[in-house]
Structure 1
Amino acid sequence: MAVPTQSLLTLSTLLLAAGCATQVDVNAAPTVWLMGEVHDNPQAHKARYEIIAGKVKQGWRPAIVMEQFDREHQGLLRTAQDECKTAVCITSKPWVEKWQWELYEPLIQLALDYQLPLLAANVSRDDANRIVKGGYSAALDPDTVAHYELNKPLPTALAEQHRQNIVEGHCNMLPPQVAEKMIPAQVARDVWMAKVIEQQAEQRDVVLIAGNGHVQKDVGVVPWLPVTLQETTTVYGFIENSQAGGSKQFDVLAQVPAHPREDPCEAFKAMMKK
């Protein structure tokens, strides 16, 4: 990894580091940053933006690969980036998925201002549902299934970690058989993000913008990257102070104050009752 030992950094330390970004070595091996998020935490978004912007303003020109855009919209995203001068112009397009776009718009604006490619990397909800019902081949092409050996059982540790994450992420309320069917959908998202990153890394450095679960080193995108690319990959986790553990999952761990929100488990419990 680009950062050999895990570092625990505060928000202020990360912002200071962003302001001290060094000149980029354009002849170096491709650099990949996997940068996580708590989707609705503004301070985590701000900290991540400042790190990326600090280096871009020093001359870095990575591709920005985003979970927030579904892969089938790549052509539309490319056209929008060519036509739009503002981030809002892109995020207001009718094909754009529902996210808290005000949190992502500074980064998208940075991409527009510095002509950084934006890449759509998510397997859509519809495709994920197809995979839940019919397996990987229901939504992934045969070459991808073969290349990543998705026609074979997952390694036991990887499957178990996915299972645990899915169960905990759904408030420990999912029936076991449902959680089991959801594992391939999560794997498909990680695989597709890894595929986009690998393709882009042949041409330039890459930054992935995705939830913390997708950038965890033992269960997210990393296991699906080529070993040579893993060696130049740095994993950033942005977690809230109230969240325990996780330090071994990231090369750089930034802790930010918890964002006030309603208990998602209460909403999930109500949905399950229906």
Structure 2
Amino acid sequence: MTRHALLLPLLIALSACSTPATVSDVAPQVLLLGEVHDNAAGHAARVALLQGKLAAGWRPAIAMEQFDTDQQPALDAAMRECADAACVIAKVAAAKSSWTWEYYTPVIALALQYKLPLYGANLSRGEASKVVKDGFAAALPAALIAHYSLDTLPSGVLAAQENAVRDSHCGALPEALVGPMAKAQIARDVVMAQTLRAHATGGVVLIAGNGHVRRDIAVPYWLRRSGFAPHAVGFLEPSADAAAFDEVRRIPLTQRADPCAGFNAPKPAT
């Protein structure tokens, strides 16, 4: 199965929504719940928020950054066959995955408990690398590029993503890689936004890093351009800026080693 075939549900949603809807036309609740990837307290707080909404009767689809769109067939099979979250993770997650799966086990367990659809929302690392090397057309279907006008990116969005890339690489990234890597981040955001659009009937929640749920440049930005009214919740440590989120839940600071100590920046391809 080709990567474009795996994005077919997203393209169907594009054709059904070729004219952007007004906010008043969009009934489903679209909730984006962020995270600091290594903050256990933040993960627990997010699960508690989601669990409360489910206990109150909400039955959304769940989309997760931690699974790629091309893993959907395996994820569907695992959700049918597995009795617990550990089984789902064992069947779908790559053996050398960098995610700390114990943080996501409760989310998957909720999907199983409430029989909620679970979707991979992310562009794979391999496809994102193609964007870095050769641009959007190397990894994304033409319809997706056209719908989101990725060939004419707003300068403010691109510049802000470039700044985020510089910061996340400790200011040590070769400048030649900054723009291409920012475009890969935008490609991930667009694929996540389109995953939410394709599965929003009845409501949908995205589980992703805070960087992906920023309303100014990330997934909510692309959703609003399509007429959706997403609500972005950042789970932020004490010093983090709250301006880019609709709602903020403050979480304790996780003690961690300096991520920039001994950082080795990737080199541009030759």
TM-score, normalized by length of structure 1? 0.83
Pairwise CA distance, 1:212: 0.4
Please report how far the alpha carbon of residue 93 of structure 1 lies from its aligned counterpart in structure 2 after TM superposition: 2.1
The answer for the alignment partner of 1:111 in structure 2 is: 111
Kindly state the Cα deviation for residue 244 of structure 1 after the two structures are TM-superposed: 3.3
Matched AA of 1:70: D
**Could you tell me which amino acid in structure 2 is paired with residue 171 of structure 1?**
C
Q: Which residue is equivalent to 1:10? A: none
The answer (yes or no) to whether the contact 2:64–2:206 under 8 Å persists in 1 is yes
Query: 2 CA distance for matches of 1:94 and 1:222?
Result: 27
Could you say which residue in structure 1 is the equivalent of 2:178? 179
SS in 2 for 1:249: coil
Q: Please give the root-mean-square deviation of Cα atoms over the aligned residues, in Å.
A: 1.7
Displacement of 1:227 in angstroms is: 4.7
8 Å Cα contact 2:233-2:249 kept in structure 1: yes
Q: 1:94 deviation in Å?
A: 5.6
Match of 1:237 in 2: 234
Q: 2:49 aligns with which of 48, 51, 73?
A: 51
Identity %: 44
Q: Which amino acid aligns with 1:238?
A: F
* Aligned residue runs from structure 1 range 118-267, under 5 A: 118-152=118-152, 154-201=153-200, 203-227=201-225, 229-231=227-229, 233-241=230-238, 243-245=239-241, 247-267=242-262
Secondary structure (helix, strand or coil) at the match of 1:115 reads coil
- The Cα of 1:215 is off from its aligned counterpart by 0.5
Distance 1:185 1:256, change over 3 A: same
Residue identity matched to 1:141? P
Superimposed CA distance per residue, residues 238-269 of structure 1 (whole angstroms, 9 cap, x where no aligned partner): 1111x332x22111111111112222111424
Aligned equivalent of 2:68, options 67, 70, 73 = 70
For residues 40-75 of structure 1, what are the alpha-carbon distances to aligned partners after superposition, in whole Å with 9 as ceiling and x for unaligned?
Answer: 111100111001101101211001110000110011
Note the C-alpha offset of 1:271. Answer: 7.5
2: CA distance between counterparts of 1:138 and 1:126? 11
User: In the aligned structure 2, how far is the partner of 1:206 from the partner of 1:238?
Assistant: 18
Separation of aligned partners in 2, 1:269 and 1:137: 29
**What 5-or-longer segments of structure 1 have no aligned partner?**
1-27
> Quick check: 253-262 or 91-100, which moved more?
91-100
Q: Note the 1:80-119 alignment, pairs <5 A.
A: 80-93=78-91, 95-96=93-94, 97-119=97-119
User: Does the residue aligned with 1:93 lie in a helix, a strand or coil?
Assistant: helix
Counterpart of 1:110, as a letter, is L
For 1:94 and 1:118, how far apart are their aligned partners in 2?
Answer: 12
Letter of the structure 2 residue corresponding to residue 137 of structure 1: A
Give the Å deviation of 1:95: 4.4
Q: What is the alpha-carbon distance in structure 2 between the residues aligned to residue 187 and residue 228 of structure 1?
A: 16
Q: Which residue of 1 aligns with 2:3?
A: none
Is the aligned partner of 1:32 residue 2:30?
yes
- Please name the residue that 2:7 is paired with: none
